[in-house]
Structure 1
Amino acid sequence: MIEILTNRLMIVPCSLDIAKSLVFHRKELEKRSPIEIPSYWPTSVVRGFIPYYIESMERMEKEEKDLDCGFWLIILYEQKKIIGDLLMKGKPEKEGEVELSYHIDGDNIDETIAYEAIDAFIDWLTYQQAVKKIIMECEVEHQQTIKLYNKLGFICKKKDGDFLTWEIQKKGE
């Protein structure tokens, strides 16, 4: 299993078993898991995404094809607690472009955690998956996210109503 490790975090892909358990057997998963699963997690966006993820994973297993999306868990390693997730919306296109979104529990976590998680994931993506461009979005009023994207080196490329589209290109590309 792939593990992306930082000083404080472990970022791992969500397995088919965990995804199914989140939908069908959450209480049992919470009892048996060595990792704490907070009641606020997953977010409504991820809950809506999980059925598609399960279907894609099952199809991938049957057809032995690459998964066209990614759902990753962000775990605060010392506390053994899920604190958020990353979604890779589709596999990298021919041009090496992929769209990401993330959620981290901002109420109980300092802002450096989000930077650490996204930075490590971007490093892994650009090295392991030959990704050349990463796109992320946020709402205009999310000043903390805008500050984070700027710190990570993203450039705002487009404003569409209340949404901003950000991108970062692999160094040297």
Structure 2
Amino acid sequence: MGKLETERLLLVEYNLDWIKATIAGVDELERVSGYEVSRDWPGIDFFFYLPYVLENVKKEPEMTKWTHLIVLKEENKVIGEIGGQGKPEETGEIELGYSIVPAYQNNGYVTEALAELLVWLKKQPEIKRIFARSFESNPHSIQVLRKSGFLYQPKYDKTEARGKIVLWEYPMDEENL
């Protein structure tokens, strides 16, 4: 797939070499990718998830097509990530997640990136279900999901140590395909 483009952003496939470079450090990712990288990226949650991603991608390199770095074109800078987890090739389902570094939040970047990603995902024949989870205490994420057409699924709420998690589903009816 390579990359998707919006008015302000590039969504660039997060490949194996870039994952390894990120684990080695932001300077290494800049060298390997050719993009400047925000010093606040990756966030702590995503950074600790990377070794798991690396091991999975080593086994199944095609999985990189589901996760993208968000590059602000104006600055040629990585400011976040967006993508899916799971094995859509087997299950038909993809769970989306995203993050923008604090200095770039509240500018509509995630909404813009998610809109473009959804257009692309709906063209993938293996995708039958798109969903996302969010902490109930994260109004910004919930606002992005609502704006993007996701529907709240209250019967799937669950509570974890960090708070209540709510499920959002993207309607995959003919009108949205």
TM-score tier after normalising by the smaller chain length: 0.7 to 0.9
SS at match of 2:82: strand
Q: CA deviation at 1:95?
A: 5.8
Contact 2:14 2:65 in 1 (8 A): no
Letter in 2 for 1:54: L
Contact 1:138 1:146 in 2 (8 A): yes
Distance of 1:166 and 1:134 partners within structure 2: 9
| Structure 2: segments with no counterpart, 5+ residues | none
Q: 1:68 to 1:138 in 2, by over 3 A?
A: same
Q: 1:79 to 1:133 in 2, by over 3 A?
A: same
Q: Map residues 16-165 of structure 1 onto 2, 5 A cutoff.
A: 16-30=16-30, 33-60=33-60, 66-67=62-63, 70-92=66-88, 96-158=92-154, 159-161=157-159, 162-165=164-167
Letter in 1 for 2:158: D
Distance of 2:108 and 2:9 partners within structure 1: 11
| Corresponding position of 2:13 | 13
Q: CA deviation at 1:10?
A: 0.5
Contact 1:70 1:90 in 2 (8 A): no
User: Could you tell me the percent identity over the aligned residues?
Assistant: 28
RMSD between aligned residues: 2.3
Q: 1:124 to 1:153 in 2, by over 3 A?
A: same
Contact 2:93 2:128 in 1 (8 A): yes
Distance of 1:68 and 1:108 partners within structure 2: 24
| Structure 1: segments with no counterpart, 5+ residues | none
TM-score by length of 2: 0.83
Distance of 1:89 and 1:35 partners within structure 2: 24
Letter in 2 for 1:160: K
Distance of 2:146 and 2:129 partners within structure 1: 15
Distance of 2:144 and 2:54 partners within structure 1: 31
Letter in 2 for 1:70: W
Per residue, is there more helix in 1 or in 2? 2
